[in-house]
Amino acid sequence: MFKRDHTCTELTIEDVNKEVNLCGWVNKRRDHGSMIFIDLRDRYGLCQLVFDPDISSDAQEIAKQLRNEWVIYAKGIVSKRNPGMENKKMETGEIEIKVNFISILSKSKPTPFPIFDDQTTTSEELRLKYRYLDLRRKEIMEKIEMRSKSMLTIRNFLNEHNFLEVNTPILCKSTPEGARDYLVPSRIYPGNYYALPQSPQIFKQLLMIGGTDRYFQLAQCFRDEDLRADRQPEFTQIDIEMSFAKKEDIFNLCENMLKDLFKKCLDVDIQTPFKKLSYDEAMDKYGSDKPDLRYNMEFLDLKDLIKNSTFSVFLDAIKNNNSIKGFIIENGQDLSRKKLDKYEEFAKNFNLKGLSNIRLTNESIKSNISKFFTQKQLEDLTKSLKMKENDVLLIACDKKEIVNQALDHLRRKVAKDRNLIKEKDYKFLWIVDFPLFEKDENENRLKSCHHPFTSPHFDEMDKLDTDPINVKAEAYDLVLNGYEIAGGSQRIHDSKVQNKIFELLNLSKEDISKKFGFFIDALSYGTPPHLGIAFGFDRLNMILSNTDNIRDVIAFPKTLKALDLMMQSPSLVSDDQLKELSISSIENKEITWE
Amino acid sequence: MFKRDHTCTELTIEDVNKEVNLCGWVNKRRDHGSMIFIDLRDRYGLCQLVFDPDISSDAQEIAKQLRNEWVIYAKGIVSKRNPGMENKKMETGEIEIKVNFISILSKSKPTPFPIFDDQTTTSEELRLKYRYLDLRRKEIMEKIEMRSKSMLTIRNFLNEHNFLEVNTPILCKSTPEGARDYLVPSRIYPGNYYALPQSPQIFKQLLMIGGTDRYFQLAQCFRDEDLRADRQPEFTQIDIEMSFAKKEDIFNLCENMLKDLFKKCLDVDIQTPFKKLSYDEAMDKYGSDKPDLRYNMEFLDLKDLIKNSTFSVFLDAIKNNNSIKGFIIENGQDLSRKKLDKYEEFAKNFNLKGLSNIRLTNESIKSNISKFFTQKQLEDLTKSLKMKENDVLLIACDKKEIVNQALDHLRRKVAKDRNLIKEKDYKFLWIVDFPLFEKDENENRLKSCHHPFTSPHFDEMDKLDTDPINVKAEAYDLVLNGYEIAGGSQRIHDSKVQNKIFELLNLSKEDISKKFGFFIDALSYGTPPHLGIAFGFDRLNMILSNTDNIRDVIAFPKTLKALDLMMQSPSLVSDDQLKELSISSIENKEITWE
């Protein structure tokens, strides 16, 4: 049998001469003649065991047989390492355990990839197939620990602010709107189906109607979509809703929650309040509603400065009310014509026809469009823009949307290429005043940008009648380092406003009842003003754990094709199971697992 | 617009003369001539608003229109109530708010049942259909709050003990063993299905293999079973697993966790360590592996005392090695022959043929089987059993299983009938040493009582070869007041032992691979000794919230027929949806909603 009274990283120089009992995995074995050294590993880290035949020849004999990943129990005396043998990289590098008893708790076949190697080159497929071994790797285990810690930190924070955690159902109802549902056949009611929730949106609003006041949940959500790199079929949301509050309350709450989270999880002090930009400003300055503010390169409107050139592209653009915008790269002395051509090629991927540039060197102003300007015009332009030596101005000209999209991608690429992103820099940004409606091009009518329960901007209620397409919404997103990490809105609680919105959306009573069902009825029983927000918790954890791979922050993730390589799921099931559910498969396609 | 700076129950006599802003629902309106009184309600409780035309005739005019469940914002001055007008039942009963401004935030249709009435007589169906209104009732909201608080308390406790919370997948793989799975068709792989997890059992063992060491999760679990009163298709488990530990560590951990939980949630000090009974002892003494220890009435083995009677039923029983057991009801002076006959009738429901009794009154010994005994024998019997005046001994005689079952039900009925259960009494009990195997009567072979990964009792490994059916398991249940609230076991980590078990279960290599798949492979890569436990969290909350109705402790529950009456789910879905999933419904049965 075994005993364990310490974990591998608990022991320090203070414990010297103590007898201790440790359990763990053999991380590495080194034979130095008759002396055998084992790095013993557990969840917490490593500790060196020494097997010396003069202390116990029995233990030393057993140690000879040990292989990587065997599980052992060892008893021994904590000892100071010999001078010069300390390992400063190791938490317990000053000490070692002189083992006087060892027992093998379980053996291991050779693992398909090494565990001790932190910077693994093993393919992700193989790691996911053997995820239970992958989890032993420090790199992954740290992320699992971070996730656990961040969950608890958030829960405690919200609890301290009087939020109740309420679990809403997983067996829900299929809704005709939104993304594709995962369905669950009902056995008791043939032909009827539950659906897995895409989000707890309706439930959280019902909780407000139910007087819950302040609700949160770390909610499992499901979308049967074709997956992108940072998506999973099941994902986690920090779902928050509150009554009798305003968006400033939500901003405050979230800022303090994140301040607490980053302090406790990363020991980083983030600055509050966060910067705010309206949707329009963000699009003007960064061409994106989720700009990365870790670097500058704000867009400049160049129309006024450029209107006297003879470049027909610019002149046409001005005539057609298109955009002429650009941004400045500092310290661009290395940006050769060749490099700038490459950026032009890159920009063309986003339908931009060309990319102009103006470079201010210590000698002169260079430009690939210099022939369309007088020297004086170029000098005035660089002066107006307060360009400094070695600044390079990139200029795009096209329809507004194309310019915005191309410059946004270009700005991000330049930042990456030129290492403009500092480590451990966290730039938060609220985007507010989103549009309420967009035009549904196919049907020539208005549709909601978010959902039809999003409140119009409080200052723009009057414009609903006169100029609805330009009405802003009481909707907001939170952006961190170029990722949208949260989004939310004030909900409509006034039935007059709600009816006006339905009217503008051209929905009949039947449409309303079919699409929103009992929820409209629920709203009529005394709905408090309420608003909320939902954080993409997996993405937030990617940032906390400094990884670009969403699968790193999920214990048992699925692939981009929604496969669980370890469990080999989904799978064929028995005909009896289907019969009992009153369904049949129209097609059967066996999955080939490698 | 509105403002809110206090909740309804925050204000006390200390706040008199303060101007405050409150929001909430009209719980009740009382018109006293020109003065109008409103009980304003929010999640926290009630506060009285006074509308006095001398303070604001505008506000008083608006107050006249108010109806129950309208949502309002009111501004006013906290005032001491007039002497004699205090309401001691109300948290804020000493004060009231003299309102100088009111605004109606939203109106309400008349509700289908009253909200202010705490002891509702409304049918549960109606309440579930309008669950969002039912949640406003204090009785329900308190239970939602208790659930939130208990979740956080448990999470913090386990975190302090170094347990990581890890979320395991909801889209899992269907397993051929166990209860019926809920299936989820895969769109990408026609004919393939995910299954919702019945428990995270495999995942938590994989986490141990993965070195997680100490894991927990408040896990959503799913079983497509025909529901009993205290079951739901989706339910929550406190799922715990740890490595390099022994069952005493689990007992200790759980006892301290519950001590902390009951202290923080109920302010009740529970005594630790908990009592322990082996499975055999529990069956002997209470005929049940989940006895309620809030009352006595332990079973007595009466064979020795009764062997000299002339009652052929008893004599045959002794010959056939059947059971003769009973228990004593104290203070049974009211137990007339008629009442005892009713207990006999009750016991017959459980296949018992008859129920004998022996009553010790102040005058004599009475019995329905006195003719089979001499007076001396009866006197000796009551003396041996240390029966006191007015004690009534009930006696059952039949096959062991029948006696146990009937007396168990009878014991519980007697306790209930005679009010032997004290309020706020919490009697915890560990049941240990469960049998490892049972006989599969159909196939004349052994099968596992729990699952085949449950470790045999450490002291009985040798008996696996000689007497396997009598080997005990390292399995344990936790019982509270007659409910099984948790169960768990030590898992096998030694492949030799595991193979021995498979041998005894008569499983071929193909069987093993088919039933347990990749998991057997996982166990061969260095599995640490590990064990765990899972609590039925909903049931635990029923006890914390003092209710017998599982639906009370779930925000949006389903009925016994697995229906969500509010969402009207499950439901028919579009043919397109099914087509995309490559399935078809064999039968369509539209559900009629009332």
3-state secondary structure of A502: helix
For residue B580, list chain A residues with Cβ-Cβ distance below 8 A.
180
Q: What is the pLDDT of residues A121-138, one digit of tens each?
A: 899 999 999 999 999 999
**pLDDT of A119:** 67
The angle that helices A138-160 and A247-266 make with each other, rounded to 10 degrees, is 140
Identify all chain A residues contacting B144, using CB atoms and an 8 Å cutoff: 164, 166, 212
Identify the CATH homologous superfamily for domain B13-106.
Answer: Nucleic acid-binding proteins (2.40.50.140)
Residue A89 has pLDDT above 90, yes or no: no
Q: Per-residue pLDDT tens for B235-263?
A: 999 999 999 999 999 999 999 999 999 99
Residue B66 and residue B28: Cα distance in Å, rounded?
Answer: 9
Q: So what's the pLDDT on residue A118?
A: 65
- What's the pLDDT score for residue B121? 84
Q: To the nearest whole percent, how much of chain A has pLDDT over 70?
A: 99
A437-453 average pLDDT score: 85
Output the six-digit token pair for B250: 């689990």
Averaging pLDDT over each range in A82-91, A324-333, B225-234, which range is the top one?
A324-333
Nearest to residue A155, comparing CAs of B141, B204, B153? B153
Burial of residue B510 (CB within 10 Å: 0-12, 13-18, 19+) is: exposed
Q: How far off is chain B from A533, nearest CA to CA, in Å?
A: 20
CA angle A331, A337, A339 (to 5 degrees): 70
pLDDT of residue A522: 94
Q: Is A132 in contact with B222 (Cβ distance < 8 A)?
A: no
Quote the mean pLDDT of chain B: 94
Residues of B in contact with A182 (CB under 8 A): 171, 184, 194
Q: Where are the domains of chain A?
A: 13-106, 142-276+429-553, 295-421
Query: Percent of chain B scored above 70 by pLDDT?
Result: 99
Q: Which two tokens stand for residue A593?
A: 């697992």
Task: Report the share of chain B in percent with pLDDT over 90.
Answer: 84
A142-276+429-553 has which fold? BirA Bifunctional Protein; domain 2 (3.30.930)
| Nearest chain A residue (CA) to B27 | A526
Identical fold, B13-106 and B295-421: no
Q: What's the pLDDT tens digit per position in B526-553?
A: 999 999 999 999 999 999 999 999 999 9
Confidence bin at A227 (pLDDT 50/70/90):
confident
A518 — pLDDT class (breaks 50, 70, 90): confident
Cβ within 8 Å, pair B42-A213: yes
Write a three-state SS string for B292-355. Answer: CCCCCCCCEECHHHHCCCCCHHHHHHHHCCCEEEEEEECCCCCCCHHHHHHHHHHHHCCCCCCC
CATH pick for A295-421 out of 3.30.1360.30, 2.60.15.10, 3.100.10.10, 3.90.190.20:
3.30.1360.30
Q: What is the ipTM of this complex?
A: 0.95
Contact list in A for residue B195 (CB cut-off 8 A) is 569, 573
The angle at the Cα of A221, spanning A220 to A227, to the nearest 5 degrees, equals: 125
Q: Which residue did the predictor score with more confidence, B236 or A120?
A: B236
**Is the pLDDT assigned to residue B119 strictly greater than 70?**
no
Tell me the whole-structure pTM to 2 decimals.
Answer: 0.95
For chain A, the distance separating the N- and C-terminal CA atoms, rounded to the nearest angstrom, is: 39
Q: Give me the phi and psi of A337, to 5 degrees please.
A: -55, -40
With beta carbons under 8 A apart, name residues in chain A contacting B236.
Answer: 167
pLDDT, mean of residues A225-254:
93
Distance between start and end Cα atoms, chain B: 39
Q: Which residues contact B195 (CB under 8 A, 6 or more apart)?
A: A569, A573, B172, B173, B174, B175, B181, B182, B183, B184
> The tokens of A158 are what?
């919200």
CB within 8 Å: A526 and B69: yes
Half-sphere exposure of residue B207: CA atoms within 13 angstroms, side-chain side: 31
Residue B325 near chain A (CB below 8 Å): no
Residue among A23, A109, A144 minimizing CB distance to B244: A23
Summary mean pLDDT of chain A: 94
**How far apart, in whole angstroms, are the C-alpha atoms of residue A116 and residue A592?**
31
Q: What is the DSSP letter of A150?
A: H
- What pLDDT, in 10s, does the model give residues A193-202? 999 999 999 9
Between CA A350 and CA A206 the distance in angstroms is 43
Q: Where would I find the H helices in A545-585?
A: 575-580
Please determine, for residue B178, whether its predicted confidence score (pLDDT) is greater than 90.
no
User: What is the layout of strands, in order, in the sheet containing B356-360?
Assistant: B300-301, B323-329, B392-398, B356-360, B365-367
Residue B18 to residue B52: CA distance in whole angstroms? 17
pLDDT tens, position by position, A392-421 = 999 999 999 999 999 999 999 999 999 999
Question: Taking CB atoms and an 8 Å limit, are B245 and A4 in contact across chains?
Answer: yes
| Alpha-carbon gap, residue B411 to B394, rounded angstroms | 10
Q: How many A-B residue pairs are in contact by the CB < 8 A criterion?
A: 383
pLDDT tens track for B497-511: 888 899 898 888 888
Q: What angle do CA A287, A292, A296 make, to 5 degrees?
A: 85
State mean pLDDT over A157-161: 98
Question: Residue A435: its pLDDT value, please?
Answer: 96
Identify the weakest region by mean pLDDT among A130-139, B202-211, B517-526.
Answer: B517-526
Q: What angle do CA B187, B190, B194 make, to 5 degrees?
A: 65
A437 pLDDT higher than 90: yes
The contacts of residue B338 (CB under 8 Å, 6+ apart) are: none
